[in-house]
Structure 1
Amino acid sequence: MRKDKDRYWDCLDQAMEASHGGRIEEALAWLDEALRVHPDGAEAHNGRGEILWDDGRVDEALIEFDRATIADGKFTAAHLNRIELLIEELGEFGTAARLSDELLSGRPELPRPDRMLQAEVYYLKSKALFYQDDLEGALFLVRRASKAGGELGLYCAFEGQVLFELGAYQEAKRVLERGAAIDPDSAHTLYHLGLVLERLEAEGEASGATGAGIEGAAEAFARANSLEPQQFPMPLDVSETAFAKAVDTAMANLPRSIRERIEGVPILVEDFPDLDLVRNERVSPQTLGLFLGVPRTEVLQTDQPLDLDRILLFKKNLEKICQDEEDLIDQVQITLRHEVGHYLGLDEDDLERLGLG
């Protein structure tokens, strides 16, 4: 029995070494051997889950995390991994929130919810709520995470992101400055600080982020890009003329029947959604486009003047998701078609079904 236990832990050590060396199949083979020796080894199942997740095999990873929690209900890492995977990869936010509540319940068969575990679970649940558009709930929980676990750069970054989405730009700036001071190499923090500074600069309110040693949005974006160039590419910057040409091309590529139906509806270009839309209408400050007015399917049910109908395209936001001008033309076309769909009365499910989501 002692030999089996020693063999089990030796296999785990070998798997970790192989995994760190990028030898995925070898690492999985060592973990298989560990499970042959000890079939209910929670650590081995969790290790397999982490490796499979890194390899993009998400469904298999979830199965392994489930097996780990069954093998040892008090194995904290597997519970947290499962919740994070449900949020980040599978979009099962309701399930993730429910599992978070279970971890906080104090049930004897689950890990004891000490302050550090509480902090991690509050943070994960705040992300689940964020993706369900419960921004106030997300803000409340990420602040509870900071109270329970201390003000970590990770928590500051996410709190700043939530505040940005709520349109609380000055408050977001203060929180993100603290996050950047705690963790100067967090690309996520620096990128969102750039977003906040960009909006404040546009309103004439920003003078850089002195607490983080950053002079302005451009520097924040550049630093984020230097740390994680794939995830945070530098924003494209095209002239108004080039952007107008992209809009004209997108319009010309619409089917003739659609062009005729939207004739007379202004297509307006603005840099960002204005603060009133963000704060009062819950429009994301990062949204790419927006239809404002009365959908054609509701014309007979409203007294609102129809000459207020308009489609907005947000130049700076579209530039941020594009690599070059050719990509920009494609993204403008996708966004324009989406908003035209809303004008015609299509809901999000209709748009997805028609490939306009």
Structure 2
Amino acid sequence: MSRRGSFALCFLLLGACQRTTPPSASAGPDAASPAAVAPTAALAAPVPEPLPPCRPRGSSPLDAALDYLDEGRFPEALSCAAQASALEPDSAAAHAARGEALAALQRTAEAQVAYARALAIDPGHPEGLLGAAHLYAVQLPSSREYDELGALYAERGLSQPEVSPELMPRFALVAAMALNDLGQAAEALQRASLVLAREPKNAEAAYEKALALFELCRFAEAKAAFSGLVSDPERGAHAHYHLGLLLEREGKWKQARGHLEKARFLSPEDFPVPPTPSEEEFRNEVALAVAALPEDMREDLTGVPVRAEELPADEDLLSGEPPLSPSILGLFRGPPLGEPCDGSETPCRSVALYRLNLARAVRTREELREQIKVTLLHEVGHLRGEDDQELAARGLE
């Protein structure tokens, strides 16, 4: 499920493109022949159309590029930015403008290089930082690595003393989005609140704030925040979806179903019908997953019940600081193996897998079985003493 809405910057959504790799000089005597390399090069990546000549209209190439960007004329902007960076290869502003134009033209890989070059020249260049932050945190497909880069660039931008006041909310908004995706909801809430203090009607910041409140288990505040977004044309589906989740936690299943169905109607791609098994079917799937574990893991689970549950309970979510996300797929309760139990519960260790959250994390029953397996391995990792960072590094995030 994608939660990334439109973002009111001058940067557009990016696609992907491949970098053309030149033939190796050691490939043999035929490597220099155009006939020999043309088929391979054609298969490797499409050759971009040649840029039109820069028409600066009485300005410098860089100023012309910035004007063309403001006008939404991205091929012309790229042409002038390319000329500006050729004339002044040490100009961070020229490379940042080139990155923005490339991003708008969906030439993502080249945009990454352009921004990298701008920031290699001037690590504190505001437009370069903002463009790079937006590229990694918003435009590229979400991943931990991209979100971490986006957050780093945005936070660096916020720390620059020379950043203009109008750029501060933009940096804060990108930071909020990246931090929410990284599960750092408290920090995301701070950044979204900074935006709203300056731009009270910023719907994207209002959504990030609502999401952070939900992740922090501040459910009453989250419910009020999402209720204010149900009429928003771009975020209404996500608002209905989260209201449905919140009402489920209150046991108001009929009302919850109404909001979830509304979310599906407004955005069927983001909110497809989940492959939800019955409670009995889910218990059977969990039992099969446990039986399929390696022998050493099954031995570690001796005396540790693996329970099929509906949703995480409030007391589990609020048992530590910061709280756990209401959307967690599973939970290990108790101390790791080798550490003493405190004697307050019997058994003192257990694993829970959550039927509704798991079903909503996938699109098919086959994916559900695989996600049950991965979640179970994650919780066994906690049983063995691994933390979330170690598990993420092993692909068990």
Is 1:246 matched up with 2:289? Answer: no
> Is the 1:142–1:158 contact (alpha carbons within 8 Å) kept by the matching residues of 2?
yes
The whole-number CA distance in structure 2 between the counterparts of 1:18 and 1:152 is: 26
Question: Which residue is equivalent to 1:275?
Answer: 314
Question: Which residue is equivalent to 2:330?
Answer: 289
Is 1:224 matched up with 2:275? Answer: no
The whole-number CA distance in structure 2 between the counterparts of 1:16 and 1:317 is: 42
Which residue identity is paired with 2:251?
G
TM-score normalised by the chain length of structure 1: 0.76
Map Cα deviations across residues 108-141 of structure 1 (whole Å, 9 max, x no partner): xx2432xx43332333344455466553443233
CA spacing shift, 1:11–1:312, aligned 2, 3 Å: closer
Deviation at 1:326, TM superposition (A): 0.5
Deviation at 1:288, TM superposition (A): 0.8
Which residue identity is paired with 2:279?
E
CA spacing shift, 1:140–1:207, aligned 2, 3 Å: farther
Map Cα deviations across residues 286-333 of structure 1 (whole Å, 9 max, x no partner): 11111001211213x755555132101111111122120011000000
> Is the 2:308–2:353 contact (alpha carbons within 8 Å) kept by the matching residues of 1?
yes
Specify which structure has the bigger relative contact order, considering alpha-carbon pairs within 8 angstroms and separated by 6 or more residues: 2
After alignment, is 239-248 or 89-98 more displaced? 89-98
**1:324-335 matches, cutoff 5 A:** 324-335=364-375
The whole-number CA distance in structure 2 between the counterparts of 1:5 and 1:149 is: 33
Map Cα deviations across residues 333-352 of structure 1 (whole Å, 9 max, x no partner): 00001101211223335435
> Is the 2:158–2:168 contact (alpha carbons within 8 Å) kept by the matching residues of 1?
no
Question: Which residue is equivalent to 1:101?
Answer: 158
SS at match of 1:284: coil
Choose from 373, 380, 385 the match for 1:345. Answer: 385
CA spacing shift, 1:158–1:197, aligned 2, 3 Å: same
Choose from 171, 177, 184 the match for 2:233. Answer: 184
> Is the 2:65–2:77 contact (alpha carbons within 8 Å) kept by the matching residues of 1?
no
Question: Which residue is equivalent to 1:141?
Answer: 191
Map Cα deviations across residues 272-294 of structure 1 (whole Å, 9 max, x no partner): 21122233431111111110012
The whole-number CA distance in structure 1 between the counterparts of 2:199 and 2:356 is: 36
Question: Which residue is equivalent to 1:48?
Answer: 99
SS at match of 1:283: coil
The whole-number CA distance in structure 1 between the counterparts of 2:221 and 2:206 is: 11
**Which structure shows the higher helix fraction?**
1
CA spacing shift, 1:50–1:276, aligned 2, 3 Å: farther
Gaps of 5+ in 1: 20-25
Cα RMSD after superposing both structures: 3.8
Gaps of 5+ in 2: 1-55, 139-145
> Is the 1:164–1:196 contact (alpha carbons within 8 Å) kept by the matching residues of 2?
no
SS at match of 1:268: strand
Q: Percent identity?
A: 23
TM-score normalised by the chain length of structure 2: 0.69
CA spacing shift, 1:3–1:327, aligned 2, 3 Å: closer
The whole-number CA distance in structure 2 between the counterparts of 1:320 and 1:65 is: 41
Which residue identity is paired with 2:152?
T
Question: Which residue is equivalent to 2:247?
Answer: 200
Map Cα deviations across residues 38-77 of structure 1 (whole Å, 9 max, x no partner): 543725533325635944427425314526867x95xx54
Map Cα deviations across residues 8-34 of structure 1 (whole Å, 9 max, x no partner): 637984996466xxxxxx986664344
After alignment, is 85-94 or 135-144 more displaced? 85-94
Which residue identity is paired with 1:101?
L
Is 1:309 matched up with 2:326? Answer: no
> Is the 2:92–2:119 contact (alpha carbons within 8 Å) kept by the matching residues of 1?
no
CA spacing shift, 1:151–1:234, aligned 2, 3 Å: farther
